[in-house]
Amino acid sequence: MLLLLLLTSAFALLPWAGAGRIIGGREAKRHSRPYMAYLIIQHGSENSTCGGFLIRPDTVLSAAHCADKKGIVNITVILGAHNINDQEQSQQRVLAKDWVIHPNYSPVGFKNDIMLVKLKRKAKINKYVRLISIPRRMGLVRKGAACEVAGWGMTSVTGHKTNVLREVALKVQNEAICQHLFHNYQRQSMICVGDASNKKATYHGDSGGPLVCNRKAYGIVSHGQKRRLFPEVSTRILFFEPWIRKQLKRFALQEVPGSPSFD
Ligand SMILES: *[C@@H]1O[C@H](CO)[C@@H](O)[C@H](O)[C@H]1NC(C)=O
């Protein structure tokens, strides 16, 4: 019996991560989420994809597990997209200059699942490409808060793929639910979210996208369980704000003249 429990929790830790799904959501209105980024991560001869979001004209926030594979050659960031397979006029394709995975990121339990991607050039901010704010101190998101997640991830557990951006509404859940199901759940640095009816969720391919509550990015889509849609875990951005601020300062020093400071 104990073994069975251990096995079950081992499965619980298996990621649909690396790849996150919008299940039970709907197609987003075109360009209604202009901060969304589509990341193509090239490792060896293979590509994997993730979501991300623009917080500075030259900086995208995403999940660390999107880039924890060996031999990553490059990350390409596509901004201003709706249908990722179309050559849309609105799209801007920018290569990453650098990416910084949180030094305490651990693939076991997805602790500190956060990464900053510095772009080779600043994105052109327009109708299709815009920044999203992250919360400042005291910007806590409470149980019951209504949030949304968008992504180009799978739309079913059987692996149906989507080319167009989809979105889904999820609620912030009682921490106890996640603490019970995820052994490595950390209140401070994670947010427990989901749809209790078990009909809506994110999935493979949505990882790295923002958990948007009250028009700010409070979380980063991180991980869930293999066999259940509810609940799931987001990285709590607020907890990492000092780290993000530090990286942005470092990036700003690196060059890219005139790059805006955090404030
Ligand atoms: C991987 O992505 C890059 C950048 O978009 C592209 O040039 C390349 O053809 C892709 N490779 C495969 C195997 O899909």
Decide if pLDDT at 227 tops 80.
no
35 against 5, higher pLDDT: 35
- Count of beta carbons in the 10 Å neighbourhood of residue 27: 15
Residues 148-155 have a mean pLDDT of: 85
Residue 15 confidence (pLDDT): 44
- Ligand 1 lined by 85 (C-beta under 6 Å): no
137 against 61, higher pLDDT: 61
CA proximity to 75, closest of 48, 39, 45, 44: 39
pLDDT category of residue 146 using cuts at 50, 70 and 90: very high
Tokens of 184: 């490595």
Give Cα 63 distance to the centre of its chain: 5
CA proximity to 219, closest of 193, 184, 196, 187: 193
Q: How far is the CA of 37 from the centre of ligand 1 (A)?
A: 17
- Ligand 1 lined by 74 (C-beta under 6 Å): no
How far apart are the C-alpha atoms of 70 and 73, rounded to whole Å?
9
Active site residue 189: no
Residue 36 confidence (pLDDT): 98
pLDDT category of residue 41 using cuts at 50, 70 and 90: very high
With a CB cutoff of 8 Å and minimum separation 6, the contacts of 63 are 17, 20, 50, 113, 114, 115, 207, 208, 220, 221, 222, 235
What is the set of domains in the chain, with CATH numbers?
Answer: 13-28+133-239 (2.40.10.10), 36-131+240-250 (2.40.10.10)
- Count of beta carbons in the 10 Å neighbourhood of residue 247: 21
Residue 120 confidence (pLDDT): 96
pLDDT category of residue 262 using cuts at 50, 70 and 90: very low
Rounded mean pLDDT of the chain? 85
- Ligand 1 lined by 91 (C-beta under 6 Å): no
Tokens 């490792």 belong to residue: 43
Residues 128-150 have a mean pLDDT of: 90
Amino acid (one-letter) located at 19: A
Active site residue 113: yes
Decide if pLDDT at 188 tops 90.
yes
Give the closest residue (by CA) to ligand 1 atom 13. Answer: 46
Residue 89 confidence (pLDDT): 97
Decide if pLDDT at 99 tops 90.
yes
**H-assigned helices in the chain:** 2-13, 175-181, 241-254
Active site residue 180: no
- Ligand 1 lined by 47 (C-beta under 6 Å): yes
Give the sign of the dihedral formed by CA 97, CA 76, CA 249, CA 62: negative
CA proximity to 220, closest of 199, 247, 241: 241
Decide if pLDDT at 30 tops 60.
yes
51 against 19, higher pLDDT: 51
Q: Which of 48, 62, 207, 234 is catalytic?
A: 207
Per this entry, what is the length of the chain?
Answer: 263
Residues 127-138 have a mean pLDDT of: 91
Residue 20 confidence (pLDDT): 41
- DSSP code of residue 145: -
